[in-house]
Amino acid sequence: MSLPTRRVGADISRSWLLVSARTGDFDAASRSQADQIVLDVEDAIDPVLKADARSRVARWLADGGSGWVRINDRSTEFWSDDVDELRGLPGLAGVMLAKSESATHVTETFDRLGGSTPVLALVESALGIESAVQVATARGCFRLAFGSGDYRRDTGASADELAMVYPRSRLVVASRIGRLPGPIDGPTVSANHPILREQSAVSVSLGMTGKLCLDTAQTSIINEAISPAQSDVAWARDFLADFELRGRVIRDGSDLPRLGRAQKIDTLARALGVEPG
């Protein structure tokens, strides 16, 4: 299936492309099939280079570029400079807050940015996972994301699918409680496309609706894997058409859950440009 290249709303965005603020090609990333780009001033940026990397991002956002920015976590000395330099920039879509571990981390970031810039809380530690509901319900929190690599380093957990079920499910449940869009899963490091497709399918099966990625070549695969399947879109539209033909009459207890699922699939498919096969 070939999906059209388009920017979609951040609430339903599937592929979130991380781009180094120091060495990345922002323009090329912006032209990619990624639903959203995230300019990264936090991970793998040497402390002595952070100011230059931040300024490079700020110039690009001020000169017509548009994207999200992963900023340093609230406990670091770099957080304050990050939010102060980014505040009010016309191209700033939102910030991804590294190592979010409390509601305060989110609300202080949201307030310092002016009270209107969305904060995507990146949860990357054992404490963050256990505080996920508080983070998800914090004022200014737009969506949750899973920093799977740092979580594994913090807990000693392996990358095994079973080991990752608990933290992913915690984020899914917290997002539902906070009335947020589905959470964004961590990146797949492997360049093997079948592995990426398989891991994206696991994310979807757990209720996650997006995925971080590290390479433009991963974006189209993630977009396809996380989008509704063409067969599901066909079923949804057939069900909704039949529901209208019978005067929207509920026949039995199974109709309401199926109606809700059909409406959700149809709405998402229309927003993403997926047509039935």
CA distances from residue 187 to 19, 28, 111, 156, 256 in whole angstroms, order as listed: 13, 20, 29, 18, 35
pLDDT, position 248: 77
Per the listing, tokens 């990345």 go with 24
Tokens encoding 154? 């913090």
The model's pTM is 0.90
Secondary structure (3-state) at 197: helix
Q: How far apart are CA 110 and CA 132, in angstroms?
A: 17
Region at 114 (left for phi over 0; alpha for psi -120 to 50; beta for the rest)? left
Consecutive 10-residue runs of the chain (277 residues): their mean pLDDT? 58 97 96 96 93 97 97 97 97 98 98 97 98 98 97 96 96 98 94 92 96 95 92 87 81 80 86 83
Domain with CATH 3.20.20.60 in the chain: 15-226
Instruction: Report the Cα 128 to chain-centroid distance in Å.
Output: 16
Where do runs of H (alpha helix) occur along 87-229? Answer: 103-112, 126-130, 132-136, 148-155, 165-177, 193-205, 216-226
Q: Containing H/E element for 95?
A: strand 92-97
The fold for domain 15-226 equals TIM Barrel (3.20.20)
pLDDT, position 254: 78
Terminal-residue alpha carbon distance, the chain: 9
State the DSSP code for 140. Answer: T
pLDDT, position 6: 46
pLDDT, position 4: 37
Secondary structure (3-state) at 159: coil
Q: How far apart are CA 143 and CA 145, in angstroms?
A: 7
